[in-house]
A and B are shown apart, each in its own frame.
Chain A
Amino acid sequence: MELNQEILVDYLDKSLSPENSSKLATQLKEDVQAARELQFLQLAIDTVRRDGISQQVFAIRQSFENNQMLSVKKTTGLVRSFYRVSMRVAAILVFLIGITVLYKYVSVSSQSLYEKQFTGYELTNNRGQSSFSSLMEAYQNKNWKEVERIYKK
């Protein structure tokens, strides 16, 4: 059998009859040049197959990496939304504290403080003493000017 490239390709494609195939295998053991040619053809076929596998694996790698990135984004998203919620709560608290401080500042004056907090000193009732009666009487009547006058006298 003449060992041309076409027959070698048929041999590699397994399209030769079993009889011719085994005959060719025997010939190849003796024909170094043809064996070399066959190896180059085999390498070419392996390259094509490898390229096909590479493309398929690469496509899956990309989709796998994209999915991983998506899940990382999702996780980051949760952290971010939790962060946002905490910031909102903090802002509301600051606002409420601010409002309270402002209200206190506006509503508390010396007059209101006096009105709310001042309690007058009431004299106890004394019996049988007449020397302080006019002063005491003026004091009990809250006639402060009279109290002052009697006191200074």
Chain B
Amino acid sequence: MDKHIRFSDDELVEAIRDKNMREEAIRQLYQEHAEITRSFIKGKGGTEQDADDIFQETVISFIEVIQKGKFRQESSIRTFLISISKHLWYNEIRRRQRAGNRENLYESGKDTEEWNAGDLIQDRELKKQLSQLLITLGTSCRKILELFYYENLSMKEIVLQMHYENEQVVRNKKYKCLQQLTDKIKENPLAAKQISELIFK
């Protein structure tokens, strides 16, 4: 029988930061918060598929917010997740119907809660495009970048896992792969626009 750990809100945040506990934490997010956020999306005109996709995006954004140290824990995790879902869904509606009545819905649905959604949740479309660019890199490049930047493995551990000659080889390979990805991103107009806005803000 599966034995699941039940985290409190504070423990859950810590578990998300810990790569060994993250899976269990994400599972708890699904078990405890998926239904209410999905109901919200469906109540606002979304389909089952929309609700599932938005909740997945919500969880990803939540993890990113925690990893960037931007979750201030001024509200409960549930409130925060619903807040992210709302923003994602209103952005999605806005994307689907650029003009008209929905714009008003979007404006009225905006939260003035503890966090600045504009800073934290960027355009989903850009993220999709960037993910596509990552796929074009090739398997070994993706793997090495993922092991270093997501799994937080050391060069030594990557040498062992990917059977490279030594750490310097891995370092060079990782650098080249990151450079390759950066060059592809530079060619993306949406990304270029966003970077310019950040720089000249």
Which residues of A come within 8 Å of B, CB atoms?
A: 5-6, 9, 32, 35-36, 39-41, 43-54, 56-58, 60-61, 64-65
Contact at A47–B195, with CB atoms within 8 Å?
no
Select which of A43, A48, A64 is within 8 A of B146 by beta carbon. A48
Q: With A44-B182, A45-B178 in contact, do A54 and B149 touch (Cβ < 8 Å)?
A: no
Distance between B37 CB and nearest chain A CB, rounded to angstroms: 13
Chain A residues with Cβ under 8 A from B182's Cβ?
A: 5, 40-41, 43-44
Complex: chain A residue closest to B195, CB-CB? A39
Chain A residues with Cβ under 8 A from B117's Cβ?
A: none
Select which of A46, A49, A64 is within 8 A of B27 by beta carbon. A64
Judge if B159 is at the interface, Cβ distance under 8 Å.
Answer: no
Distance between A140 CB and nearest chain B CB, rounded to angstroms: 90
Distance between A142 CB and nearest chain B CB, rounded to angstroms: 86
Interface of A is mostly: helix
Select which of B52, B127, B131 is within 8 A of A61 by beta carbon. B52
Chain A residues with Cβ under 8 A from B194's Cβ?
A: 43
Contact at A45–B149, with CB atoms within 8 Å?
yes
A60 CA / B31 CA spacing, docked (Å): 11
Chain A residues with Cβ under 8 A from B77's Cβ?
A: none
Q: With A39-B198, A40-B186, A45-B149 in contact, do A56 and B130 touch (Cβ < 8 Å)?
A: no
Given A40-B185, A40-B191, A43-B191, 8 other A-B contacts at CB below 8 A? Answer: A36-B196, A39-B198, A47-B134, A47-B185, A48-B146, A49-B149, A57-B59, A64-B31
Chain B 41-63 near chain A by CB (<8 Å), digits 1 or 0: 00000000000100110011001
Contact at A51–B23, with CB atoms within 8 Å?
no
Chain A residues with Cβ under 8 A from B23's Cβ?
A: 56, 60
Contact at A53–B64, with CB atoms within 8 Å?
yes
Chain B residues with Cβ under 8 A from A64's Cβ?
A: 27, 30-31, 34
Contact at A48–B150, with CB atoms within 8 Å?
yes
Distance between B15 CB and nearest chain A CB, rounded to angstroms: 13
Contact at A36–B195, with CB atoms within 8 Å?
yes
